[in-house]
Structure formats: C-alpha cells, structure tokens
A and B are shown apart, each in its own frame.
Chain A
Amino acid sequence: MLVLPGEEIQSHGLKPGPGTYRVGGKVYASILGLLAPRPPFVQVIPLSGRYIPKPNDVVIGTVTDVQTTFWLLNIDAPRWAPLHMTGTPWKVDIGECERYLKVGDAVVVQVENLDATGRIGVTMNGEGLGKLEGGTIVTISPARVPRVVGRSGSMIQTITRHTGAQVAVGQNGRIWIGGSPEAIHRVSAVLWMIDEDGQRPGLTERVESYLLATMPTNAAGAEAPRPESAHRDAPPAPGLPDDEEDGAPEPNDSPDEPDPDPT
C-alpha cells in the first residue's frame, strides 16, 4: 500500500520503524513508499530517492579522491564513503594508495558501519569484493534493486542464465556487467526495463520473453556458449542473496499493488 509523508498509519500495536514517526500516540509515514509491517516494527520502504546505506550492504563505488591513508568512494549515498588502506587485501603503505586504486576506478565494497555523524565505513576485505575491470556499470534506482535480484535470486539467475554474462549487483543501484558485447547489451536492456517499468505486473514474463527473443544463435542452434571472462581477476558475482535476506519486499506479479513479502 502506497503511503505519503504525513499520512497516518494503522500500526496495530507495531512500533514505528524506518520511514515513520510517532506523534501524540499516532504513527505517521515520513517518506513516500510502501507500507511494510515487519513485526515488532512497521516501516515504510522507499520507492524513490538516493541510496541510504545499511550495514552489510554490498555496493559498487567509484574512487573520487586518493589521500595518504584512504580513498574516497562515491557510492551514490548522501555522503562519500572512505575506504581505509587497511580495509583491502593488499599491503598498502602510507602514501602508496595511488598505486592500488586511482580516481575513476570502480570497486565492490561492503558497508561495515555507520556512525552518528553520518560517516559510512566500508571494507574491501571479503568474498566477492574487489576492484572491477572491464565490462560496464549501469545505474538504476536503488528502490528497484530487489526486482533485479528477484525472490531468492530468481531474476538475476534468469538474466545470467540467458546471457552468460557476469553480473555484480550493488544495493546502491549500481550494477556491473561483464561478458561479450551482446551479453552486456541484453543485460543493460533488461536493467532499463526493470528501472523504467518494474512496478507494472508481469515483469518476469516481459524479461524472459525479451531474453528469449534476443538469444543469439550459433551453428548448433543451441544456447550461446558462456563467454570468456573479459578479465582475469574478476571477483565472483557478489550481491546474490540468500533466503535470509532482509531487504525490501519482493513484490509478486499480481495486478494489485505489490504486497510486502510477509516473511
């Protein structure tokens, strides 16, 4: 159910969570979004706006500045995110950061912590994290990322299976695609489809029929072979969720407005 700032929410005894506020015993929405009961809280999931970081989110960022002991990353969040030299698998000496990452490089990092002053701590130490090489990056609205992943990863698996592309999904709406030019083109087209039209019911069918209609054929008439990696040290596709993921609701494809998944 779509709610707007200032609209009263029937909380049914749930406590006010993100996207809500309480005044005089009543709970109201503070942002435009989908009402989502998440006992013991009730929250509003944003449908728009910048990416707001949460601990453990895997995101894709661009290096915008290099300092003596850290790099500054743009992750399309309200603030830049500093990546400290100790937060990488490399043995970086003070003043040597430039040798490992320079301005314009793209990286996959994980949000570690957020402090009260709004500072976003990120790390590149971990499975599936690292520098990105080759391919391209497409940016979509962060609110659409759950639809790119799909229920239990179903959508992302459909995309990679039909294209042979490698895909790294950042919770901040940045998505890296690696593979052949055809694969990159088809995945980009699907991502734009999800970004522009993802709320309309029947998304899964539309994506599948596009991918099938644009399948490149080879002499054997079988599915196109998996392309060689465009680079050698590509990280495995991160961002694949497990069933315990606590993210935004994964809308079903009913004709009504999407319902939050009552897990």
Chain B
Amino acid sequence: MRPEIRQLIDAMVGHGYVADESIATAVFLARELGRPLLVEGDAGVGKTEIGKVWARIAGAELIRLQCYEGLDVSTALYEWNYPRQLLHVRMAEAAGQSTEAMEGTVFSRAYLLERPLLRALTRAEGPALLLIDEIDRADEAFEAFLLEVLSDFQVTIPELGTIRAVHVPHVVITSNATREIGDALRRRCLYLYVDHPDLDKEVAILRSRVPGASEALAVEIARFVGALRGRDLVRTPGVAETLDWARALCRLHSDHLDLETVEATLGCVIKDQHDRRSLGANELAGMVGAARAGGAR
C-alpha cells in the first residue's frame, strides 16, 4: 500500500472517521487527479462524513450545498444584491454621478452575493472543500449545470464576465441513489460506493465515536445491527442509527444487551412501524441471544 494512503487512513481515524482502504484510496485519487468524488450508498453509511473529514484533514473550508427539488442557479451559484444596488443608485443619483459610472459600480463583485458554488471557486486562502449533498434530489437541469461548473471550474456571469477558480476546490458529491445520476456527471467524477460497515469496522466506529461504550457492548450492538441489516427491512439502519443507539444504551448504563432494554430503545435503530411489527418478541429475544453469544448469525 502507498504510504500516502496509509497516512490518509490514519489521519481520518485521527479525526474520528473510521475509514477503510477503499474510502482512503478514493479520496487519495480524487485529490491527486483533481477530480470530484461521487459517493453513493444507502442512507446513513457516512457519505457526507467523508466530505467533512476530508475538509478537516486538508484544513479547507467546508462549503456545503444541500440539494433539493427545485434548486436553482440563484440559490446555488450567485445572485445580485438588488436592495443594495438600488440604494447605491439612489445615493449616486443624489450625488449627480453619471450613468456609466453607476453601472460600473453597481455590477461589480461588491454587489454580488456568492452562493456555495461560486464561493468554492473564489475562495482565495486555498482550495475549499465543496460538499454537494444528495445530488439525486436536485433535478436533471441542475445536474447539467453543475457539470458545466465542475468540468472547467469557471462560471460566466453576464454582467461581469468569466470567473475562474482561484484554487480548484476538492469536490465531494453524495447520492442516495434514489434516481440514476446522469452518465455525463458520473463520468466527470471518480466513483465510490460505500456499503454498510462490516462487524469489525462498525465496532471500531462505535469505540471511536462513543467512548463510553464498553468493548463488549460495542461488539454486541454491532452484531445485533448487522443481523438487522440482513433482514428485509423497509429502512435499513445506518451507522448514524447505530451510534444513536449506542449512546442511548450508554446513558442507560447498559454493559450488555438485554431484551427489556432492547425493546425499550429499539426506536433508535428501527424507524418504521412496519419493521418494528415484523420483529416479534421471540425473534427479538433470539437476536439478542445471538448477539450476546457471538458468532451465531
């Protein structure tokens, strides 16, 4: 393994993110090749966290763009500060300034409201980390527009001209795969699929993020949640849920899983009433037993 990748894993662990080799390799390559990284995976596997921890390691400002249906250029890229422009025009009129001079001032950078994409390009101190979260929620028109920004790292504003990136930002794009991401955007990015963690990784995450949990409890929680993920659930619990549950159990001073506590706190990991009903008391007892005994699945 390249020493740089090993260092990256250590750095990520140091910042509280338990990364495996594939995540570290993907981040390393995205950084080396200067490409955006498209991260796909189920909800709650820690996709967004990759962006955040990368920003901390690189010491870069984290600029986050949360996507939603109907997201448009004026919220994502830039908008003119109309109220301020108007005020300026009024004052300049009173001072008897010429129209040309007025136009020159009003359409200048000072009157431009930078939205996340533009801010990521213009940050002067160093490359920013641009986190474009849940791209699958935005519509395709936005995806096409994003492609333009991400391929040249420049933006054209009609009144102002073309703005080029001062430093090319690191870009992480996450998707829950609720719809297929367009081929063009996919090809622009390096690709990483993040799966639910295996037992060892989940225990490591629990130990690192919930220091109050004993080793034994962490292993039991991870086994139990692992067994849950093997079932056909409407909402498969992610790492975030596991962590919530571990914190809840710690607060209740549990050292081991027992049926009573599990039943009382199961709402931390099972967040769908149909899923909850599908787990009968007997089955739950069996799963708790298996989690405590270990090995058996």
Q: Bound pair: A and B?
A: no
Residues of chain B touching chain A, judged by Cβ–Cβ distance below 8 Å, are none
